[in-house]
Structure 1
Amino acid sequence: MFPGATADPSASRYTVVGAPLDVSTSFRPGARFGPERVRRFAGTFEDYDRATDQTFSSLGVADHGDVHAWNDAEEYISYLASVCREIVRDDAIPLTIGGEHTVSVASIRALTPDVVVVCDAHLDLRDEYDGDPWSHSTVTRHALRGADEAVILGARSGSETEWTRADAADVTVVEPEAVADWTPPEGFEGRDVYLSVDIDAADPAYAPGTGTPEPYGLSSRELRDVVRAVAPHASGFDVVEVNDRDDGQAATLAAKLLRDFVFAHADATADAATDGARDE
């Protein structure tokens, strides 16, 4: 269980789902161990968050456990999407822990957001990779089959074809050096937003335990600031591509980002409720 995720799943506000899919990793496998490692390394954190004056265990977080993965990615994503739809039908926000980045497609299908914000070292706009249309390198392309727009933060790697695709009007790329100055645009107001964090968006100095590390990335604080800024607009969240090839740095960062999402989202929701009560 994710530490502090003590709520009854039938009455939760947020539900953690482990998605240990690991079939298309193109360099260093091990993403199947991501959900377990993220939960384990979250065990060192204090329950209390000073920034929002909240305790994690009081915010209605439940843990669904892992959705066992098998080798057919397309079939697995379809099943995982049905699990996420059940969570959404119960009025909870899915918090998915991967697993390879392909698992994000399941939550996106369940939520059908208008905008997908992706923190990622890679554009992931390929139609296929090594003949696999469900490779982790295709996730943003899949997302755009349902969403109107993708915002990719921290991208610094992609094929020539992907960079050409990224020039289209429905994609915005914010390169690493510009992320610190990026804030959610006014256009996010009133739209459904989904936030996906591929841990390789971080520089490998902060998160070496990932399948395809890419230098010149984001700092852990820059990722924290993005998560806190986007969370109030978001209807779902995932953190993916954590593997077992480090001493826990990537898993620790992923766990902290998941908690930051919950704290920031719950804080914004409470503020909105208070403002609404004042207006009545």
Structure 2
Amino acid sequence: MFPGATADRTDARYVVVGAPLDVSTTFQPGTRFGPDRVRRFSRTFDDYDHHTGSRFTDLSVHDAGDVHAWDDAGDYLAFLRGTLADVLDDGATPLLVGGEHTVTRAGVEAVTNGEHASENLTFVCLDAHLDLREAYDGNPLSHATVTRHVLDHADRAVILGARTGSEAEWDRASEADVTVVPPEAVADWTPDFDGPAYLSVDIDGADPAFAPGTGTMEPFGLSSRELHRVVRAVAPRAVGFDVVEVNDRDDGQAATLAGKLLRAFVFAHAAGTSDS
């Protein structure tokens, strides 16, 4: 169980769902261990948040455990989408913990379809990579394609901290529905869009000095403080959240950061929507 996620499922405002998919990681695998590591390395966190004056255990968070992954990514994403749609149907906000970044597609599809569909959605992603490929190594469901797929459902994408991509990806990123904010500009970025957001944190958006436990490390990245500020800024307007690409190849730095960002999202989201 994610520490402090003690609410009953029927009473929950937030539901943690683990998605340990690990079928298309292209360098260092291990994202199947991500959800467990995020839970484990969040055990030492204080319950109280001084930014909002609230306690995590008072915010009605439930941990639904993991959706066991199998090697057919398409079938798995469809099943995961249904699980997240159930969370939304119950009036709660899904908190998805990967697993590889491919699982984000299920999260965005869940919030843009069905009875509780969000329109005019902006996909906000903290990521070292553009993830705008049509396929990678012949795989159209690779984690390197996730943002391209998301744009089939979201109106626009804002990619914060991206610092690498193929020539074709940079060409796609120049189109009107994509905004790329380079690492050096993230500190001054504020949400400048209307409507709801879906917030995705690929832990490799952080510089490897802060989060070495990820599959495709990319230097010259964001500080943990910059990720924290963005999460808190976007959270009040978000209808869904995920943190992905944590693996088991460090001493817990990436998982600790992921867990702290998930909690920061909940604190800021709850404070920003408490009167709604």
Please report the TM-score for the alignment, with normalisation by the length of structure 1: 0.95
- Alignment-derived partner of residue 237 in structure 1: 241
Contact 1:16 1:65 in 2 (8 A): yes
Q: How does 1:161-180 map to 2 (within 5 A)?
A: 161-180=168-187
5 Å-filtered alignment, 1:159-198, equals 159-185=166-192, 187-188=193-194, 191-198=195-202
1:72-221 to structure 2, matched below 5 A, reads 72-112=72-112, 113=118, 114-185=121-192, 187-188=193-194, 191-221=195-225
Residue deviations 1:103-154 (CA, integer Å, cap 9, x gap): 0011100001511001000000000000000000000001000111000000
Residue type matched to 2:73 in 1?
Answer: A
- Residue 42 (structure 2) pairs with residue 56 (structure 1): no
2:11 and 2:110 map into 1 onto residues whose CA distance is: 19
Q: Which amino acid in 1 is paired with 2:188?
A: D
Q: Which residue of 2 aligns with 1:11?
A: 11
Equivalent AA in structure 1 for residue 190 of structure 2: T
Identity %: 67
- 1:276 alignment partner in structure 2: none
**Distance in 2 between the 1:216 and 1:121 partners?**
9
Name stretches of at least 5 consecutive residues in structure 2 with no aligned partner: 113-117
SS at match of 1:116: strand
Q: Alignment partner of 1:127: what SS? A: coil
The ranges of structure 1 where at least 4 consecutive aligned residues each deviate by more than 4 angstroms after the TM superposition are none
- Number of matched pairs: 269
Task: Please list the CA deviations of residues 41-71 of structure 1 after superposition, one character each: whole Å capped at 9, or x if unmatched.
Answer: 0001000001100000000000010000000
Q: Return the alpha-carbon distance in structure 2 between the equivalents of residues 157 and 17 of structure 1.
A: 29
**2:188 alignment partner, SS class:** coil
Question: In structure 2, the residue corresponding to 1:196 is in which secondary structure?
Answer: strand
Letter aligned with residue 203 of structure 2: I
What's the offset of the Cα at 1:11? 1.6
Tell me, in whole angstroms, the C-alpha distance in 2 between the residues paired with 1:142 and 1:79: 17
SS at match of 1:96: strand
Cα deviation, 1:12-42, whole Å, max 9, x if unaligned, reads: 0000000000000000000000000000000
Letter in 2 for 1:248: G
Query: How far apart are the structure 1 equivalents of 2:185 and 2:211?
Result: 20
**Equivalent position of 1:277 in the other structure:** none
Gaps in structure 1 of 5+ consecutive residues? 274-280
2:267 aligned partner = 263
2:199 counterpart SS class: strand
Mapped partners of 2:50, 2:125: distance in 1: 27
Aligned letter for 1:20? P
CA distance in 1, matches of 2:222, 2:40: 24
CA contact (8 A) 1:11 1:90 kept: no
Distance apart, 1:192 and its partner CA:
2.0
Q: Distance in 1 between matches of 2:148 and 2:61?
A: 30
Q: CA deviation at 1:267?
A: 0.6
More helix by share: 1
* Code of the aligned partner of 1:3: P
Tell me the secondary structure at the aligned position of residue 159 of structure 2: strand
| Distance (whole Å) between structure 2 residues aligned to residue 231 and residue 105 of structure 1 | 19
SS in 1 for 2:43: helix
Amino acid at match of 1:120: D
Aligned to 2:30: 30
> Matches of 1:118 and 1:86 in 2, distance apart?
23
- The Cα shift of 1:217 comes to 0.2
Secondary structure of 1:42 counterpart:
coil
User: What SS does the corresponding residue of 1:83 show, helix, strand or coil?
Assistant: helix
